[in-house]
Structure 1
């Protein structure tokens, strides 16, 4: 593993995890990432992966991606991951993964500065916020190192609650798209029926529901939802297209992640 960040010892308890952020550099590390993804997405969320092999989530794009990982070195365990596809590698891969869900022609002028992130997951025993913040720090380092301005991906919302959280996010998405009407908008290839989300908009469950933590975090740093959601039937999710322009990030997070 190419190490990027280690949490200072004085910020961790003596008996707590020793977390290190890095880029996977061996096949064994990539396979550990794939096992974590399978455990979270399939065993925990019930997602079916057509290309899964021996308890690992494997697909065509893995070979072209950089795999950002957080390891607990005490347990020798991969506990968090994102995969990142650069503009150059997307050409080799035949496009971005997101192009299997969205038509991206309005982002064509951004491609040379556009990186894609996805397949984010965290081990269930490490969801206190430390791992995801390390991963976001790693994404920021990656963007700075490769001199990229835009980060694009899909923010998935489970439909296991009958679409309640998805309806909440769609309300916010519409507000954002009205507010930032000049931003590129992508189009879902398999759209989720918006009337199903809008029918729930005024319901009590939607009003009382919480914004999904990951999407809330994205929006906090300055990400924008840039189109209608796609329906991922394999994952049983509604996927919202999200883009981060590092030039428009919240100033606090620009400083925190080293852009200023």
Structure 2
């Protein structure tokens, strides 16, 4: 199912980009190959390397996969994995529950979509791909009648965690969720034990969430596999910044 199209500028040429949901096993493997390239090869996570060259887990078969494709080259150049409330019930949990206790969000489970595994081919990081992915997310949430979007934004710990700590301590109080939406990491990353004088460098995904109006719902979790601090974010659509609401929640054209 193609959701929409948009002319996008890649680093090498002007390309026509489309966003859709993966509809075949081969398209899912294309997504998994891109994730492997970005998450494992580029980040040098040799412990997660495998002969298949795929980043995959048990959640993939329960989730939908947004894909942005360059129609000139047919390459999949961006992806986002999304989980509906129905899929989470079938699976038995959301992906985030591996890292966080989401008990305080139990009353929202029937209206939460989870997004994760966002990645973009390094040659296509001009902004067009992430805009299409967010528009695809909005279309998915309308289809599933979801009022909340949740997900994790990962911050590399390659510098010893100083940037993650600086980001956390640099957040405005308005960036944090009210107490009734707070979650608890199973293995917290010790942001309070790191120096706070570091100049924070905010990853684009975290910046996009915060600009849209998402809340940070507590201390980050420590993900030793991906060597990252994971910030849990919750975006009520009622809180979505109006500039983004006008862009992403308008009716998308389907073909």
Find the counterpart in structure 2 of residue 237 from structure 1.
228
Structure 2, gaps ≥5 residues long: none
Greater RCO between the two (CA within 8 Å, min separation 6)? Answer: 2
CA contact (8 A) 2:81 2:116 kept: yes
- SS in structure 2 at match of 1:256: helix
CA contact (8 A) 2:77 2:124 kept: yes
Find the counterpart in structure 2 of residue 71 from structure 1.
69
CA contact (8 A) 1:177 1:227 kept: no
Change (3 A) 1:63 1:250: same
Shift of the alpha carbon at 1:161? 2.2
**Which whole-Å deviations, capped at 9, do the CAs of 1:124-168 have from their partners, x for residues lacking one?**
000111101110011011111211000111110001122232122
- SS in structure 2 at match of 1:33: helix
Deviates more, 1:230-239 or 1:216-225: 216-225
Structure 1 residues 1-260: aligned runs within 5 Å? 2-8=1-7, 15-47=13-45, 54-173=52-171, 175-176=173-174, 180-197=177-194, 200-201=195-196, 203=197, 206-207=198-199, 209-258=200-249
CA contact (8 A) 1:222 1:244 kept: yes
Structure 1, gaps ≥5 residues long: none
Q: If the length of structure 2 is used for normalisation, what is the TM-score?
A: 0.91
Shift of the alpha carbon at 1:175? 2.4
- SS in structure 2 at match of 1:155: strand
Shift of the alpha carbon at 1:195? 3.0
CA contact (8 A) 1:190 1:230 kept: yes
Segments ≥4 residues shifted beyond 2 Å: 11-15, 46-53, 172-178, 180-183, 194-197
